[in-house]
């Protein structure tokens, strides 16, 4: 947790960067606020939601600009957050690991970055989405799943001489 807060410059000022250095400068009264918070402080944009229900998690994803899944290679065969984010039609930016590459075979509208490459991730976030929202709509829905299930599990209308009519 502390590492995350340090990397987002939460509760840091420019003076923290100059801890053991002597600096002399003059500041106009209307520029004083510049030194109160570090210019890289993104604390106001980082939110910890705590444990969420599936519905709460989906609602949180729905209001985000991007869903970033920076997983390491851990031998997982699937990801619940990946599935929820795709079902929500979110812009998903994920680490290029085996599980996510396999997932993308079925849901190709996922943008990837190399595991641990924070510069590539930052560029991907700032770039125009590779897949516009309309292209992120799931090809498979409750309706298509229902139709497939019924077709696979229904009796044929008529059978004549061993052939289905």
pLDDT digits (tens, 9 = 90+) for 16-67: 766 666 666 666 666 666 666 677 777 777 777 788 888 888 888 888 889 9
Q: State the average pLDDT over residues 87-98.
A: 92
Q: Is 44 exposed, middle or buried (0-12, 13-18, 19+ CB in 10 A)?
A: exposed
Q: Where are the domains of the chain?
A: 1-48, 51-138
pLDDT tens for each residue of 140-153: 777 888 898 898 99
Distance CA 2, CA 157 (A): 65
Structure confidence at residue 93 (pLDDT): 96
109-142 pLDDT, tens per residue? Answer: 999 999 999 899 999 999 999 988 877 766 777 7
Closest residue by Cα to residue 18 from 3, 34, 38:
38
Beta-carbon contacts of 54 under 8 Å, excluding residues fewer than 6 positions away, are 84
The verdict on pTM exceeding 0.75 is no
Name the CA radius of gyration of the chain, rounded. 24
Q: Which residue is it, tokens 């939460």?
A: 10
As beta bridge partners, residue 110 has: 92
């Amino acid at each position: 947790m502390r590492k995350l807060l340090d990397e987002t410059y939460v509760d840091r000022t420019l003076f923290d960067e100059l801890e053991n250095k002597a600096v002399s400068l003059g500041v106009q009264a209307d520029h004083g606020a510049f030194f109160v918070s570090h210019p890289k402080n993104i604390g106001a944009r980082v939110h910890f939601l705590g444990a969420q229900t599936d519905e709460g998690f989906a609602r949180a994803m729905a209001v985000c600009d991007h869903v970033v899944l920076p997983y390491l290679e851990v031998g997982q065969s699937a990801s619940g957050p990946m599935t929820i984010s795709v079902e929500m039609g979110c812009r998903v930016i994920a680490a290029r690991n085996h599980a996510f590459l396999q997932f993308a075979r079925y849901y190709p509208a996922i943008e990837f970055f190399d595991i641990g490459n924070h510069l590539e991730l930052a560029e991907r976030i700032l770039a125009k989405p590779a897949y516009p929202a309309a292209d992120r709509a799931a090809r498979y829905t409750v309706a298509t799943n229902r139709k497939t299930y019924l077709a696979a599990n229904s009796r044929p209308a008529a059978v004549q001489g061993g052939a289905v009519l």
